[in-house]
Amino acid sequence: MAIPHALPGQVIEVQPLGPRLPHEMTVALFKAQDLEVMRLVLPAGRSLPPHKVPGEITVQCIEGAIDVTADGQSHVLHAGQLLYLSGGVMHGVSALQDASALVTVALRR
């Protein structure tokens, strides 16, 4: 379900989706001047193909488990684990279990 982008100060829910996960889609939570935050939803076995963005990103696993491949190296994240990647790094994400993750992108202007 599409949700409207949040405004500054607005409370955004980022709890695990649990049994609702298979029915949810990836959503952009907000895009502001410096930061864009999205919630990535990936059912087990699904993946995001390798891509890159100019700025740094953080990926925080909210539930399940994901494999973040960056510059050919694999990094497995379980719920409650986070990593960051430098800007311009080719990265892909695949879900080892039904998973959701918070992705924060630094927007370079």
> Rounded to the nearest whole angstrom, what is the least distance from the CB of residue 1 to a copy of itself in the complex?
18
Q: Closest CB to a copy of itself among 2 and 15?
A: 15
Q: Closest CB to a copy of itself among 4 and 33?
A: 33
Write the CA distances from 5 to 32, 38, 108, integer angstroms. Answer: 10, 10, 20
> Rounded to the nearest whole angstrom, what is the least distance from the CB of residue 75 to a copy of itself in the complex?
5
> Rounded to the nearest whole angstrom, what is the least distance from the CB of residue 49 to a copy of itself in the complex?
19
Write the CA distances from 31 to 48, 61, 104, 105, integer angstroms. Answer: 20, 20, 10, 9
Q: Closest CB to a copy of itself among 46 and 71?
A: 71
Phi/psi class of residue 40: alpha, beta or left (left: φ > 0; alpha: ψ in -120 to 50)?
Answer: beta
